[in-house]
Structure 1
Amino acid sequence: MRRILIDSELEIKAENYSKNLFTGRNANFKTPLDELKKLRDSLQMKHRVQKQYVQKIIDQYQEILKASPEEMRLLITSFQTIAKSDILESKLKTKDKLKFHELIVKAMRYDELRSSEFRQFVSSSGIKTCVYCNSQLAIISEISFYDKKEKKRKPKVLAKFELDHYHSKSQYPFLCTSFYNLYPVCGNCNRAKSKLDIKFELYTYDPSKLDLFNFWIDDETVINYWLEKTPDVSKLKIHFDSIDGDYDLINEYNKIFGIQGIYDTQNDVAEELLHKAKVYTNAYNKSLLKNFHDLFPDKNILEKLIIGNYANSSETFKRPMAKYTQDLAKQLGLI
């Protein structure tokens, strides 16, 4: 929905991720390098290509974990010179349950990463919504329950999100645990994208390319809304567009994730913002900041209160529908 800037702080997180992944596990834990070497050594002479592929992962493991979006593309080109999709989709033995790419994903301990380590990153990142639709929560919740067997309350941590791979595990298994390849998303968006390659990429180095999409309310429908004796909220029309006119991008994004359809159900939020725009004028807002400085020490707190969501674009992923609310609020002059 909105891209995340790769700055020095995020680069440090990626570096620490690559250095410390699974280091907190007990001494008996089999690391990805242990499992990859085991897989390599189990391959027979006729699996020379597969062995070369696994060895390359071992040789470049740390580099793979922290690879930037551009570095991942270079790695893909490099790995594709060794093995194409037919090799990755094949089984080493006819009776094997897992395909070659699945053996790699298993060896790299992706399931362990998903169930534990990556939860910590999401929890500390401030991301609390699906990065694709921004309409569903993607959170870590802590609960406690009564264990009848042990006769005491026990804590439990639940991940209310799924991990999507920008570059799919089946086509690029060596990237299955790469920091910048893992997107916290809701289950609906994860299933919708599946193995598809999409144009939208979450991370970027370009601060001018953070916003690719924009919600806006049709002025004519707003005029008609106010002219009606009994305003009909269902007649308000909110559009979801590409900021730079990239039709292919917006069409693909809408087709896969159904964004327009999701937000067409939220006209009541747009209606509330219309009414707030009538009340919270610039003059009135200035008076609130002046007369209630203790309540509103800065403008951002007041704007957050007015629109009922985060007003700063950098906080888009902290609450569902923040992008939608921010865009309409800006158009209506609320922020």
Structure 2
Amino acid sequence: MRKIIIDDNIRGFANKYLKEMENECPNVIKDLENLRDNVIKYNPGIDKKIIENYINEIISDYPNLLITEPKDWNFKKYNKILGVNSDILITEVKYNTKRKVSAGKPIEYRSAKLYDRIMFCLRYEKARTILGEIHQEMGLKACIYCNTQPARSANRNVFYEMDHLKPQSKYPFLGTCFYNLQPSDGSCNKRKSDNPCDFQLYINDSKEELSPFRFLPRITGIEPNTKCIEIKFVGKNGNTTTESKQYNTTFHLEDLYAAYKDVVDDIYWQNYKMCGSMVAAYKATFGHDVTRAELTKHLLHCPYDESKIHEDVLRKLKVDTMKQLDDAGLLLKD
């Protein structure tokens, strides 16, 4: 729900991923060469020139493909190789024999879609386990699309899915690219694959809006008897935009967040309770004047900081609810 500008810090994580992939997957190029040769050998009717050129291009670009930034993704080059035959990537191809060929017996082949075999050679499953722990270091611990489900990894076990921003079936050359793999829960991953979504986690343009969306709780009643009756998903300025409407339609966010109205209620209630006497009590506890940052962190159980919403679930809703209180002049009001 919030984009990340690619800076030297992010590039540091990308380079760590690159080094680990090179150390743990030393045979990627050899495997791609074998795939190229076998597909050409065992599929006499296939366009051999496309197979040769496409896989050779991946070999030529590897391992830089692992950390190629979005601004440098060269779709034109790969699409030109495919020409009018882009369906070749989803074509079932023979890539090996199941057993040694015996005289008088028909050959049995192993087969799969071409892009699947490219992904296998690129070692996607290994990339996923490596990247999972790097995501934890980066603070990417919640689904970037809905922010309601955890994205956790430990001991090389990844307990979430990784969405390919650019689908592997169309762009297998980006199948293990650091910047193309986005932490997602299973439901959001499936919904995105079936519906349009332009949300891109990593961006190069520092002028681009990082947080284009906002949750807008609808509150009824007067303190202390306020009640959240609806949570709208809108654009940054509080109005429904073409982008927020598309995003909401794809991920069903307003329906999903109807189950989290109690989170809003709790923040409103806790904020109401945080009166002058409570502030004095905190001051006595901490032994110094309590800052607004300390009070809001205590109220939210997390920093009141939009940039940290990926660190845990429901952070976006909590921060946006606080902003609503802040904008109304009600936040930490005596």
1:199-253: CA deviation from partner (whole Å, max 9, x where unpaired): 11111232651111011223xx43xx2299xx584x6222110226673321221
Aligned residue for 2:234, secondary structure, equals: strand
Work out whether 1:69 is the aligned partner of 2:70: yes
Query: Could you tell me how far 1:119 is from its partner in structure 2?
Result: 2.1
Show the counterpart of 1:154: none
**CA distance, structure 2, for counterparts of residue 129 and residue 123 of structure 1:** 10
**CA-based RMSD:** 2.8
For normalisation by structure 1, the TM-score amounts to 0.81
Show the counterpart of 2:101: none
For normalisation by structure 2, the TM-score amounts to 0.82
Query: Could you tell me how far 1:130 is from its partner in structure 2?
Result: 0.7
| Paired AA for residue 279 in structure 1 | K
**CA distance, structure 2, for counterparts of residue 202 and residue 296 of structure 1:** 38
Change (3 A) 1:295 1:21: farther
Asked if the contact 1:200/1:249 (under 8 Å) is kept, the reply is no
Show the counterpart of 1:36: 32
Task: Flag structure 1 segments of 5+ consecutive residues without an equivalent.
Answer: 143-156
Query: Could you tell me how far 1:18 is from its partner in structure 2?
Result: 2.4
1:261-287: CA deviation from partner (whole Å, max 9, x where unpaired): 111111111112222332335x66865
Task: Flag structure 2 segments of 5+ consecutive residues without an equivalent.
Answer: 42-46, 96-108
Aligned pairs for 1:1-335 (under 5 A) are: 1-23=1-23, 25=24, 31-44=27-40, 46-72=47-73, 75-83=74-82, 84-93=85-94, 97-114=111-128, 116-141=129-154, 158-194=157-193, 196-205=195-204, 206=206, 209-218=209-218, 221-222=219-220, 225-226=221-222, 233=227, 236-243=229-236, 247-280=241-274, 287=280, 290-294=283-287, 299-333=292-326, 334=331
**CA distance, structure 1, for counterparts of residue 321 and residue 184 of structure 2:** 24
Change (3 A) 1:314 1:270: same
**CA distance, structure 1, for counterparts of residue 291 and residue 223 of structure 2:** 36
**CA distance, structure 2, for counterparts of residue 246 and residue 34 of structure 1:** 51
Change (3 A) 1:59 1:297: farther
**CA distance, structure 1, for counterparts of residue 240 and residue 75 of structure 2:** 26
Asked if the contact 1:43/1:51 (under 8 Å) is kept, the reply is no
Aligned residue for 2:81, secondary structure, equals: coil
**CA distance, structure 1, for counterparts of residue 111 and residue 289 of structure 2:** 61
Show the counterpart of 2:100: none
Query: Could you tell me how far 1:297 is from its partner in structure 2?
Result: 6.7
**CA distance, structure 1, for counterparts of residue 91 and residue 50 of structure 2:** 12
Runs of at least 4 residues of structure 1 off by over 6 A?
none
**CA distance, structure 1, for counterparts of residue 240 and residue 72 of structure 2:** 25
Asked if the contact 2:94/2:112 (under 8 Å) is kept, the reply is no
Query: Could you tell me how far 1:110 is from its partner in structure 2?
Result: 0.7
Percent of aligned pairs with the same residue?
26
Q: Which moved more, 1:177-186 or 1:81-90?
A: 81-90
- May I ask how many residue pairs the two structures share in their alignment? 306
